[in-house]
């Protein structure tokens, strides 16, 4: 009875750097056993502690270009001079296997997915304010002042994109943001259009 099998849900999260998206994603992965984090491909240099295959698949620009040409990406984008992409094969596999997938990607990639795939859930994480975003970036030892200034400048443009997302989570108090993200995931599992297929073996709709 393939027709009644539940499809995996695609959650797409975007945010300006420093809004706390990565920490939120890590927290939420531990709560939902059926949820996996999609590992992006990137041409950027690994940061301290980042592991190939866990945080990203680190590839060269040539390999990335080959994958783009071969249509192997569900979405890809250039961000701050580096390339990032999501494997189309992984996305399709998870959907058909009923595995939920969380994608932590930028607005350009999210926009591509929204136009290519139906049923995805688009979540934008906002900092409480630009001033608080600056404070958080200042406290993050990994970035130089030049990088911070560029991120702040980019943030204003990225935040404009929140408009077309399904949900906005303001990451002021972390526990509240986690509760909201968790609620979005649970609520989306209850969406009628996702359930009618599997419930049609019990009820006539």
| Binder among 67, 162, 171, 178 for a copy of itself (CB under 8 A) | 162
Kindly state whether residue 126 participates in binding a copy of itself, applying the rule CB under 8 A: yes
The residue written with tokens 């620009």 in the block is: 61
Binding residue (CB under 8 A) for a copy of itself from 50, 160, 173, 174: 160
Task: Report if residue 125 touches a copy of itself, rule: CB under 8 A.
Answer: no
Q: Which of 10, 124, 137, 151 lies at the binding interface for a copy of itself (CB under 8 A)? A: 124
Q: Is 190 in the site for a copy of itself (CB under 8 A)?
A: yes
Element (H, E) at 25: helix 21-31
3-state class (DSSP) for residue 186: helix
Task: Note whether 165 and 121 are within 8 A (CB).
Answer: no
Asked if 163 is part of the footprint of a copy of itself (rule: CB under 8 A), the reply reads yes
Listed in sequence order, the residues at least 6 apart from 163 whose beta carbon sits closer than 8 Å to its beta carbon are: none
Rounded Cα gap, residues 197 and 34, in angstroms: 19
What does each C-alpha distance from 81 to 44, 77, 184, 186 come to in angstroms? 8, 10, 32, 36
> Interface with a copy of itself includes 34 (CB under 8 A)?
no
CA-to-CA distance for 147 and 109, rounded, in angstroms?
22
Q: Work out how close the CB of 189 gets to a copy of itself at its nearest, in angstroms, rounded to a whole number.
A: 8
Candidates 24-32, 39-47, 70-78, 156-164; binding stretch for a copy of itself (CB under 8 A): 156-164
Considering only the stretches 17-25, 33-41, 50-58, 121-129, report the one whose residues sit in contact with a copy of itself under the rule CB under 8 A. Answer: 121-129
From 44, 152, 166, 197, residue interacting with a copy of itself (rule: CB under 8 A) = 166
**Taking a C-beta distance cutoff of 8 angstroms, is the pair 14, 108 a contact?**
no
Please report, as ranges, the residues that interact with a copy of itself according to CB under 8 A: 124, 126, 128-130, 156, 159-160, 162-170, 179-180, 182-192, 195-196, 199, 202-205
């Amino acid at each position: 009875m393939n027709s009644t099998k539940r499809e995996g849900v695609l959650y797409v999260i975007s945010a300006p750097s420093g809004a706390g998206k990565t920490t939120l994603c890590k927290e939420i992965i531990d709560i939902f056993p059926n949820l996996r984090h999609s590992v992006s491909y990137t041409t950027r240099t690994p940061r301290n502690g980042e592991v190939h295959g866990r945080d990203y698949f680190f590839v060269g620009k040539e390999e990335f270009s080959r994958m783009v040409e071969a249509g192997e990406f569900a979405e890809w984008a250039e961000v701050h001079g580096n390339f990032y992409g999501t494997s189309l094969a992984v996305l399709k596999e998870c959907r058909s296997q009923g595995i939920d997938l969380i994608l932590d990607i930028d607005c350009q990639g999210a926009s591509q997915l929204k136009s290519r795939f139906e049923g995805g859930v688009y979540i934008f994480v906002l900092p409480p304010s630009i001033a608080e975003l600056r404070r958080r970036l200042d406290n993050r030892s990994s970035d130089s002042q030049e990088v911070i200034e560029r991120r702040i400048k980019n943030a204003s443009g990225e935040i404009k994109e929140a408009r077309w997302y399904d949900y906005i989570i303001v990451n002021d108090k972390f526990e509240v943001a986690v509760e909201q993200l968790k609620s979005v995931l649970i609520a989306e599992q209850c969406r009628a259009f996702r359930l009618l297929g599997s419930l049609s073996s019990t009820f006539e709709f």
